[in-house]
Amino acid sequence: MKIGCTWRGGSLAGRTGALLLVAALSVAARGQTSRADKVYEPNPKPPTDGLIGSNYTPAYAVNQVQFWHDFRAKAVERELAAAGKWFGISTLRVYLHDINFFQEKEVLQANLETFLALCARHGIRPGFVFFDGCHRHEGIYLDRPTEPVSGFHNGRWAQSPQARDIDKDNVEKFKPYVQEIIRAHRADPRVLFWEIHNEPPPGDKYRDRLKRAGYRWAKEVQPVQPVLNCEKGKRGWGDCEVTDIVDAHVYSHAHGPLRDLSERNTKKGTVFTEAGARWKASRRNFGGPIDMVYWLGQRRKKGKSTPGMYLCWELMVGNSNCRWHWIDKPGAPEPEIPWCGLLWPDCTPVSLAEAEAVRRHVTGKSRALFFEDFERHSAAAWRPYGNKALAVRNAMTLDPGVKAIAGDEAWTDYVLEGRVVIKPPAKGAPPGSAGLLLRVSKPGKGLDEMQGYAVTFDRGKLVLNRFAGGRPRTLATYDLTKLKSATRINEWSMIRVAAEGPRIRVWFNRMHPSSDPQRGLRIDYTDKDAPILSGAIGARAHNVTAMVDNVVVLPIDALPHPVRVGWTQSFDAGYTDRKGA
């Protein structure tokens, strides 16, 4: 089944009526906002300060052209609601495309108004991007169906304008696109900013002219919102003379670049419209959501400005395929953990630890019984057995034969999540495994000396063991070689465990639903033989060196439940919403 660009809105009469209604609502909204008439001027405290968001394309869409052409309001609203519920997100960065404007202007304008109304309902202020210099420069059309390309990061993302639409002697052809969109919402408080051009390639004279002309066209309309552009300099994507806020992109957890970009031009302030992605363990840390909000929190404690941040590139792990890394090739196996994206298509978080960290940063409230991100390079909350001390640098290292215990032995039902990576073993080393512990009590010096359960993995197998009297007993196993992801040594894996009475459920390296209809559930076991019903948590390493990071313990009622939306599944297309809008 292909994901086409077919409008799903019903009859022509119904569609016309909807357009008229939306037009009336738009006029009403503009009437309500006509008093907010002061044109934006750069200042040290931009309206993006303190906000947390992400870039947004719905999970069903391969790119921004399909999003606006095949607009599905119910699917969009589910995703906006989940963004607020799980992460406290209050802004989104959203791409437009000139194809939609020039080929079906009224449809785009109506869908844009509907989108703004949905965002307002969920307390989200989007910013909109007009042009983009990244990814596919040709082959994107309004009326030609497209499918995601497995393994290909942003494999169908559409440069704007497409190569066929570029007339190097005529940038003015795009002036109506910019001005008519902005003019309809120039005083609309629901819009946070207008961004003219995302990442114009350095040295591309046409796109540089387009970027500068677009800024001028936008300012002629006198919007109350800031107008942005990003430009690549010697120190990355940052400031230029045609942006009202420093429009920064950073894919690093290093505090130096973050600090430099945030203070690049204090007369304007900074917004990180692209702020990081997750680990690739054998490579560098690209700045995951927890890294970024920790850095923001430290600045806030020091009384410094906290730039707005759009985390982990995109909100949804969807058909844009940004769950794969930039360097992955078409046909690559599913990643153990998505490189980008905060929510699965069923509107549940990729990581409960990330959701806890971000929501706590935004709201100041926590649901966690225990949370550990190791950002302070300390394992003070952990008790080691088998070593006198634990090495920590952004993650906790366990040497072979070591376990570490944390938390309260009185805990009963809870959800435990953490990330574990097994380091490459020495040549000829015996086979080993690593993982998480739950419902632990009576720990001793030996690796197996404890009462409780362990969820461990190696290259080919996931195991649930029960420990009592220093002896392990295998309760359940799962063959990891069946997965379309390769459980690779030296890559992070994610374990989530729900312990509820005698029942233990284990999720491991959940993948996109096109490859994983079980949504990551690998073991569902009920211990009927005198089950262990309470205990602390921990981690262990057997015959291997392992690292542990981003550990969270939550009450059992915090376990996410997928949104039932009537999905169908196809080989390469992932989830398609049968119910349309």
Neighbours of 39 (CB within 10 A): 12
CATH class of 48-349: alpha beta
Q: Which of 445, 439, 364, 424 is nearest to 545 (CA)?
A: 424
| pLDDT at residue 564 is higher than 80 | no
Q: What angle do CA 73, 74, 79 make, to 5 degrees?
A: 95
User: For all residues of the chain together, what is the average pLDDT?
Assistant: 88
Please give the average per-residue pLDDT across 170-174, as a whole number.
Answer: 95
Range of lowest pLDDT (120-134, 275-289, 345-359, 498-512): 275-289
Please tell me the distance from the alpha carbon of residue 314 to that of residue 277, in angstroms, as a whole number. 9
- Over residues 374-378, mean pLDDT: 94
The residue-averaged pLDDT of 103-126 equals 98
Residues of the chain with CATH 3.20.20.80: 48-349
Q: Is 99 exposed, middle or buried (0-12, 13-18, 19+ CB in 10 A)?
A: buried
Measured over the CA atoms of residue 27, residue 180, residue 229 and residue 88, the dihedral's sign is: positive
Residue intervals of the chain classified under CATH 2.60.120.560 are: 370-558
Residue 15 pLDDT class (50, 70, 90 cuts) = very low
Distances (CA, A) of 416 to 179, 362, 367, 435, 555: 50, 22, 13, 12, 9
pLDDT exceeds cutoff 60 at 356: yes
Percent of the chain with pLDDT over 70: 89
CATH topology of domain 370-558: Jelly Rolls (2.60.120)
| pLDDT at residue 146 tops 70 | yes
Render pLDDT for 298-310 as a digit per residue (tens, 0 to 9). 999 999 999 999 9
Most confident of 248-262, 272-286, 369-383: 369-383
**pLDDT of residue 36 exceeding 60:** no
Torsion of CA 22, 28, 29, 31, to 10 degrees: 150
Contact 353/294 with Cβ under 8 angstroms? no
Work out the pLDDT band at 152, boundaries 50, 70, 90. confident
In 72-154, at which residue ranges do the beta strands (DSSP E only) sit?
Answer: 91-95, 125-132
- β-strand partners of 574: 570
Residue 327: predicted pLDDT: 84
Give per-residue pLDDT as tens, 504-549. 999 999 999 999 999 999 999 999 999 999 999 999 999 999 999 9
What's the whole-number mean pLDDT along residues 27-50?
A: 74
The reported pTM is 0.90
Q: Strand, helix or coil at 96?
A: coil
